[in-house]
Amino acid sequence: MLRPPAPVSRYNILDVAPVNIRGLDHLVPWSMPEKILVTGGAGFIGSWTVELLVREGYRVVVLDNFSTGSPGNLARVLDRIKVVKGDIRNHILLDEIIKRYEIDSIIHLAALVSVEEATRNPGEAVRINVNGTHNVLETARKHDLERIVYASSAAVYGDPKYLPIDEDHPLNPKNIYGATKLGGEALVNAYHDNYGLSTISLRYFNVYGPRMRSGPYAGVIMSFIQRILQGKPPVIYGDGHQTRDFIYVEDVAAANLLALRSKTTGSYNVGTGREVSIRELLRIICEEIGRDIKPAYAEPRPGDIRRSVASINRSATDLGFKPRTSLRQGLKNTISYLIKNPPFS
Protein backbone atom coordinates (compact mmCIF):
# COMPACT_ATOMS: atom_id res chain seq x y z
CA MET A 1 0.00 0.00 0.00
CA LEU A 2 1.30 3.46 -0.88
CA ARG A 3 1.67 5.62 2.19
CA PRO A 4 0.96 9.38 2.22
CA PRO A 5 3.80 11.82 2.82
CA ALA A 6 4.62 12.44 6.47
CA PRO A 7 6.51 15.31 8.08
CA VAL A 8 10.16 14.69 8.87
CA SER A 9 10.79 15.59 12.54
CA ARG A 10 9.36 19.02 13.34
CA TYR A 11 9.90 20.33 9.83
CA ASN A 12 7.13 20.37 7.23
CA ILE A 13 8.88 18.18 4.67
CA LEU A 14 7.24 15.73 2.34
CA ASP A 15 8.57 12.22 2.98
CA VAL A 16 8.19 10.40 -0.31
CA ALA A 17 8.71 6.66 -0.45
CA PRO A 18 10.76 5.37 -3.40
CA VAL A 19 7.65 4.44 -5.41
CA ASN A 20 5.20 6.96 -3.96
CA ILE A 21 4.33 9.95 -6.10
CA ARG A 22 0.66 10.11 -5.09
CA GLY A 23 1.62 12.22 -2.07
CA LEU A 24 2.40 15.15 -4.36
CA ASP A 25 -1.08 15.35 -5.86
CA HIS A 26 -2.28 18.15 -3.61
CA LEU A 27 0.59 20.51 -4.39
CA VAL A 28 -0.23 23.67 -6.30
CA PRO A 29 2.22 24.68 -9.05
CA TRP A 30 3.97 28.01 -8.66
CA SER A 31 3.68 30.87 -11.09
CA MET A 32 6.56 33.22 -11.93
CA PRO A 33 9.37 33.94 -11.03
CA GLU A 34 11.80 31.27 -12.24
CA LYS A 35 11.52 27.95 -10.43
CA ILE A 36 14.67 26.01 -9.57
CA LEU A 37 15.03 22.44 -8.36
CA VAL A 38 18.13 21.97 -6.18
CA THR A 39 19.03 18.32 -5.70
CA GLY A 40 20.98 17.79 -2.49
CA GLY A 41 19.68 21.17 -1.38
CA ALA A 42 19.73 20.34 2.34
CA GLY A 43 23.43 19.57 2.28
CA PHE A 44 26.49 21.70 2.92
CA ILE A 45 26.86 23.48 -0.43
CA GLY A 46 23.21 22.95 -1.29
CA SER A 47 21.77 24.85 1.67
CA TRP A 48 23.97 27.90 1.03
CA THR A 49 22.96 27.79 -2.62
CA VAL A 50 19.27 27.60 -1.72
CA GLU A 51 19.58 30.59 0.63
CA LEU A 52 21.22 32.65 -2.10
CA LEU A 53 18.58 31.69 -4.65
CA VAL A 54 15.80 32.71 -2.26
CA ARG A 55 17.48 36.07 -1.61
CA GLU A 56 17.71 36.60 -5.35
CA GLY A 57 13.98 36.05 -5.79
CA TYR A 58 13.89 32.52 -7.19
CA ARG A 59 11.29 29.93 -6.25
CA VAL A 60 13.14 26.88 -4.93
CA VAL A 61 12.26 23.21 -4.56
CA VAL A 62 14.74 21.02 -2.68
CA LEU A 63 15.02 17.28 -3.28
CA ASP A 64 17.18 15.54 -0.69
CA ASN A 65 17.26 12.09 0.89
CA PHE A 66 18.87 13.49 4.08
CA SER A 67 21.59 10.84 4.13
CA THR A 68 24.08 13.62 4.89
CA GLY A 69 21.98 16.77 4.58
CA SER A 70 19.85 18.18 7.37
CA PRO A 71 16.54 20.06 7.52
CA GLY A 72 18.23 22.34 10.05
CA ASN A 73 20.56 23.59 7.32
CA LEU A 74 17.51 25.15 5.68
CA ALA A 75 15.99 26.61 8.83
CA ARG A 76 16.38 30.22 7.68
CA VAL A 77 14.37 29.66 4.48
CA LEU A 78 12.07 26.69 5.19
CA ASP A 79 8.99 28.90 5.17
CA ARG A 80 9.85 30.16 1.67
CA ILE A 81 10.77 26.94 -0.14
CA LYS A 82 9.38 23.48 -0.86
CA VAL A 83 11.28 20.43 0.36
CA VAL A 84 10.72 16.84 -0.75
CA LYS A 85 12.48 13.92 0.90
CA GLY A 86 13.44 11.58 -1.89
CA ASP A 87 16.23 10.22 -4.06
CA ILE A 88 17.58 11.24 -7.46
CA ARG A 89 17.64 7.58 -8.41
CA ASN A 90 13.83 7.66 -8.38
CA HIS A 91 13.14 8.92 -11.91
CA ILE A 92 9.38 8.77 -11.38
CA LEU A 93 9.65 11.17 -8.46
CA LEU A 94 11.92 13.53 -10.43
CA ASP A 95 9.42 13.59 -13.26
CA GLU A 96 6.52 14.30 -10.94
CA ILE A 97 8.32 17.13 -9.10
CA ILE A 98 9.20 18.87 -12.35
CA LYS A 99 5.63 18.58 -13.62
CA ARG A 100 3.94 19.60 -10.38
CA TYR A 101 6.15 22.59 -9.70
CA GLU A 102 6.72 23.54 -13.35
CA ILE A 103 10.47 23.57 -12.76
CA ASP A 104 12.53 25.70 -15.15
CA SER A 105 16.10 24.68 -14.28
CA ILE A 106 18.05 22.31 -12.03
CA ILE A 107 21.15 22.79 -9.91
CA HIS A 108 22.31 19.22 -9.42
CA LEU A 109 24.31 18.89 -6.20
CA ALA A 110 23.11 15.54 -4.86
CA ALA A 111 26.00 13.08 -4.76
CA LEU A 112 28.05 10.69 -2.72
CA VAL A 113 30.82 13.20 -2.02
CA SER A 114 33.32 11.38 0.17
CA VAL A 115 36.42 9.91 -1.48
CA GLU A 116 36.68 7.35 1.32
CA GLU A 117 33.04 6.30 1.11
CA ALA A 118 33.21 5.96 -2.66
CA THR A 119 36.29 3.78 -2.33
CA ARG A 120 34.58 1.57 0.26
CA ASN A 121 31.40 1.24 -1.81
CA PRO A 122 32.11 1.87 -5.51
CA GLY A 123 28.80 0.42 -6.64
CA GLU A 124 26.85 2.91 -4.57
CA ALA A 125 29.04 5.74 -5.84
CA VAL A 126 28.24 4.79 -9.43
CA ARG A 127 24.53 4.40 -8.73
CA ILE A 128 24.29 7.85 -7.15
CA ASN A 129 26.87 9.92 -9.01
CA VAL A 130 26.49 8.44 -12.49
CA ASN A 131 23.07 6.78 -12.69
CA GLY A 132 21.47 9.48 -10.54
CA THR A 133 22.94 12.18 -12.76
CA HIS A 134 21.59 10.35 -15.81
CA ASN A 135 18.11 10.41 -14.25
CA VAL A 136 18.37 14.18 -13.69
CA LEU A 137 19.55 14.81 -17.25
CA GLU A 138 16.99 12.54 -18.88
CA THR A 139 14.16 14.13 -16.92
CA ALA A 140 15.45 17.57 -17.87
CA ARG A 141 15.57 16.54 -21.54
CA LYS A 142 12.07 15.11 -21.40
CA HIS A 143 10.68 18.38 -20.04
CA ASP A 144 12.94 20.64 -22.14
CA LEU A 145 14.30 22.50 -19.12
CA GLU A 146 16.18 25.74 -19.56
CA ARG A 147 19.41 25.06 -17.68
CA ILE A 148 21.28 22.30 -15.81
CA VAL A 149 24.14 23.17 -13.46
CA TYR A 150 26.17 20.10 -12.50
CA ALA A 151 28.47 19.96 -9.47
CA SER A 152 31.68 18.26 -10.52
CA SER A 153 35.02 18.17 -8.70
CA ALA A 154 38.71 18.91 -9.08
CA ALA A 155 39.14 15.19 -8.41
CA VAL A 156 38.59 14.65 -12.15
CA TYR A 157 42.12 15.95 -12.80
CA GLY A 158 44.06 13.43 -10.70
CA ASP A 159 47.76 14.18 -10.21
CA PRO A 160 48.51 17.63 -11.64
CA LYS A 161 50.82 17.72 -14.64
CA TYR A 162 51.24 21.47 -14.22
CA LEU A 163 50.06 24.29 -11.97
CA PRO A 164 47.79 26.11 -11.76
CA ILE A 165 45.31 23.56 -13.05
CA ASP A 166 43.20 24.96 -15.86
CA GLU A 167 40.19 23.38 -17.53
CA ASP A 168 42.32 22.03 -20.38
CA HIS A 169 44.41 19.97 -17.98
CA PRO A 170 44.33 16.20 -18.73
CA LEU A 171 41.54 14.35 -16.94
CA ASN A 172 42.87 11.32 -15.09
CA PRO A 173 41.05 10.74 -11.79
CA LYS A 174 42.92 8.59 -9.27
CA ASN A 175 39.97 7.45 -7.16
CA ILE A 176 36.45 6.12 -7.54
CA TYR A 177 34.87 9.40 -6.50
CA GLY A 178 36.74 11.37 -9.17
CA ALA A 179 35.92 8.73 -11.77
CA THR A 180 32.20 8.95 -11.01
CA LYS A 181 32.21 12.75 -11.17
CA LEU A 182 33.98 12.57 -14.52
CA GLY A 183 31.37 10.07 -15.65
CA GLY A 184 28.70 12.58 -14.68
CA GLU A 185 30.48 15.30 -16.65
CA ALA A 186 30.63 13.06 -19.71
CA LEU A 187 26.88 12.56 -19.52
CA VAL A 188 26.29 16.28 -19.04
CA ASN A 189 28.35 17.05 -22.14
CA ALA A 190 26.68 14.30 -24.16
CA TYR A 191 23.21 15.59 -23.31
CA HIS A 192 24.27 19.03 -24.50
CA ASP A 193 25.84 17.73 -27.71
CA ASN A 194 23.13 15.23 -28.60
CA TYR A 195 19.95 16.92 -27.36
CA GLY A 196 20.81 20.60 -27.12
CA LEU A 197 20.30 20.69 -23.35
CA SER A 198 21.85 23.83 -21.85
CA THR A 199 24.37 22.47 -19.36
CA ILE A 200 27.42 23.54 -17.40
CA SER A 201 29.77 21.65 -15.05
CA LEU A 202 31.55 23.31 -12.13
CA ARG A 203 34.71 21.65 -10.85
CA TYR A 204 34.84 22.54 -7.17
CA PHE A 205 38.20 22.54 -5.44
CA ASN A 206 38.38 22.20 -1.61
CA VAL A 207 35.16 23.69 -0.27
CA TYR A 208 34.85 24.59 3.41
CA GLY A 209 32.67 26.65 5.72
CA PRO A 210 29.78 26.47 8.18
CA ARG A 211 27.58 23.35 7.90
CA MET A 212 30.38 21.26 6.43
CA ARG A 213 30.28 17.61 7.23
CA SER A 214 31.68 16.13 10.42
CA GLY A 215 32.30 12.48 11.27
CA PRO A 216 34.79 9.88 10.08
CA TYR A 217 34.87 11.24 6.51
CA ALA A 218 35.30 14.91 7.43
CA GLY A 219 37.84 16.99 5.53
CA VAL A 220 41.08 18.40 6.88
CA ILE A 221 39.63 21.72 8.07
CA MET A 222 36.86 20.10 10.10
CA SER A 223 39.32 17.57 11.49
CA PHE A 224 41.80 20.24 12.56
CA ILE A 225 39.16 22.43 14.21
CA GLN A 226 37.51 19.52 15.97
CA ARG A 227 40.72 18.18 17.48
CA ILE A 228 42.03 21.59 18.54
CA LEU A 229 38.75 22.47 20.26
CA GLN A 230 38.92 19.12 22.05
CA GLY A 231 42.49 19.82 23.17
CA LYS A 232 43.90 17.05 20.98
CA PRO A 233 46.80 17.39 18.54
CA PRO A 234 45.65 17.73 14.92
CA VAL A 235 46.97 15.00 12.65
CA ILE A 236 48.97 15.87 9.54
CA TYR A 237 49.44 13.06 7.05
CA GLY A 238 52.86 13.40 5.45
CA ASP A 239 55.08 16.43 5.99
CA GLY A 240 52.37 19.08 5.75
CA HIS A 241 53.91 20.77 2.71
CA GLN A 242 51.24 19.38 0.42
CA THR A 243 48.97 22.15 -0.88
CA ARG A 244 45.32 22.71 -1.68
CA ASP A 245 43.05 25.46 -2.99
CA PHE A 246 40.48 26.12 -0.24
CA ILE A 247 37.35 28.00 -1.28
CA TYR A 248 34.64 29.28 1.05
CA VAL A 249 31.18 27.81 0.62
CA GLU A 250 29.38 31.12 0.02
CA ASP A 251 31.71 31.80 -2.90
CA VAL A 252 30.78 28.39 -4.30
CA ALA A 253 27.09 29.23 -3.95
CA ALA A 254 27.75 32.45 -5.86
CA ALA A 255 29.44 30.43 -8.61
CA ASN A 256 26.37 28.19 -8.83
CA LEU A 257 24.16 31.25 -9.31
CA LEU A 258 26.44 32.70 -11.98
CA ALA A 259 26.44 29.37 -13.80
CA LEU A 260 22.65 29.21 -13.63
CA ARG A 261 22.31 32.67 -15.17
CA SER A 262 24.98 32.13 -17.81
CA LYS A 263 24.35 30.68 -21.26
CA THR A 264 27.86 29.27 -21.63
CA THR A 265 28.47 25.53 -21.63
CA GLY A 266 31.42 23.32 -20.75
CA SER A 267 33.42 22.85 -17.56
CA TYR A 268 34.71 25.55 -15.21
CA ASN A 269 36.96 25.58 -12.16
CA VAL A 270 35.64 26.95 -8.88
CA GLY A 271 38.54 27.80 -6.59
CA THR A 272 40.51 30.81 -5.41
CA GLY A 273 43.73 30.49 -7.38
CA ARG A 274 45.68 30.54 -4.10
CA GLU A 275 47.85 27.57 -3.13
CA VAL A 276 47.89 26.93 0.65
CA SER A 277 49.98 24.33 2.45
CA ILE A 278 48.48 22.15 5.15
CA ARG A 279 50.97 23.62 7.63
CA GLU A 280 49.88 27.16 6.78
CA LEU A 281 46.25 26.13 7.12
CA LEU A 282 46.89 24.71 10.59
CA ARG A 283 48.79 27.83 11.66
CA ILE A 284 45.86 30.10 10.73
CA ILE A 285 43.33 27.85 12.46
CA CYS A 286 45.42 27.80 15.65
CA GLU A 287 45.72 31.59 15.56
CA GLU A 288 41.98 32.07 15.11
CA ILE A 289 41.10 29.63 17.89
CA GLY A 290 43.81 31.06 20.13
CA ARG A 291 45.57 27.81 20.91
CA ASP A 292 49.07 26.68 20.08
CA ILE A 293 48.92 22.91 19.71
CA LYS A 294 51.68 20.99 18.00
CA PRO A 295 50.46 18.55 15.35
CA ALA A 296 51.00 14.83 15.27
CA TYR A 297 52.45 13.48 12.04
CA ALA A 298 51.32 10.27 10.36
CA GLU A 299 52.27 8.40 7.23
CA PRO A 300 51.05 9.96 3.97
CA ARG A 301 47.74 8.58 2.79
CA PRO A 302 47.88 6.42 -0.35
CA GLY A 303 46.99 8.35 -3.49
CA ASP A 304 47.19 11.76 -1.78
CA ILE A 305 47.94 14.50 -4.32
CA ARG A 306 51.02 16.58 -3.47
CA ARG A 307 49.96 19.98 -4.83
CA SER A 308 46.74 21.46 -6.13
CA VAL A 309 45.61 24.96 -7.09
CA ALA A 310 43.03 26.16 -9.61
CA SER A 311 43.31 28.53 -12.48
CA ILE A 312 40.08 30.50 -12.41
CA ASN A 313 40.80 32.74 -15.40
CA ARG A 314 38.15 31.07 -17.57
CA SER A 315 35.53 31.23 -14.80
CA ALA A 316 36.29 34.91 -14.27
CA THR A 317 36.10 35.73 -17.98
CA ASP A 318 33.07 33.67 -18.97
CA LEU A 319 31.02 33.66 -15.75
CA GLY A 320 32.23 36.78 -13.95
CA PHE A 321 33.30 34.62 -11.03
CA LYS A 322 35.44 36.24 -8.35
CA PRO A 323 35.84 34.67 -4.88
CA ARG A 324 35.41 37.32 -2.21
CA THR A 325 36.18 35.55 1.07
CA SER A 326 39.77 35.36 2.29
CA LEU A 327 40.97 32.12 3.84
CA ARG A 328 41.39 33.74 7.25
CA GLN A 329 37.91 35.27 7.21
CA GLY A 330 36.37 32.03 6.01
CA LEU A 331 38.11 30.06 8.74
CA LYS A 332 37.03 32.63 11.32
CA ASN A 333 33.41 32.22 10.21
CA THR A 334 33.72 28.44 10.25
CA ILE A 335 35.29 28.27 13.71
CA SER A 336 32.66 30.62 15.13
CA TYR A 337 29.89 28.46 13.68
CA LEU A 338 31.36 25.23 15.00
CA ILE A 339 31.83 26.65 18.49
CA LYS A 340 28.16 27.66 18.53
CA ASN A 341 26.97 24.47 16.81
CA PRO A 342 29.41 21.73 17.82
CA PRO A 343 28.89 18.60 15.71
CA PHE A 344 31.16 16.66 18.04
CA SER A 345 31.22 15.92 21.75
Q: Active-site residue 157, yes or no?
A: no
Query: How far from chain centre, in Å, is Cα 266?
Result: 18
Cβ atoms 132, 64 nearer than 8 A: no
Sign of CA dihedral 62, 65, 66, 71: positive
Contacts of 248 (CB under 8 A, 6+ apart): 207, 208, 209, 323, 325, 327, 329, 330, 333
Kindly report the CA angle at 208 between 272 and 301, in degrees rounded to 5?
95
Regarding beta strands 14-15 and 105-108, do their DSSP bridges make them parallel or antiparallel, or are they unpaired?
Answer: unpaired
CA gap 198, 192 in Å, rounded: 6
CA gap 83, 103 in Å, rounded: 14
Question: How big is the chain, counted in residues?
Answer: 345
> 297: helix, coil or strand?
strand
Write down the number of H helices and E strands in the chain.
11, 14
Among the listed residues 177, 208, 248, 268, the single catalytic one is 177
**Residue 30 half-sphere exposure toward CB, CA atoms < 13 A:** 19
> 159: helix, coil or strand?
coil
> 98: helix, coil or strand?
helix
What amino acid positions are annotated as catalytic residues?
177
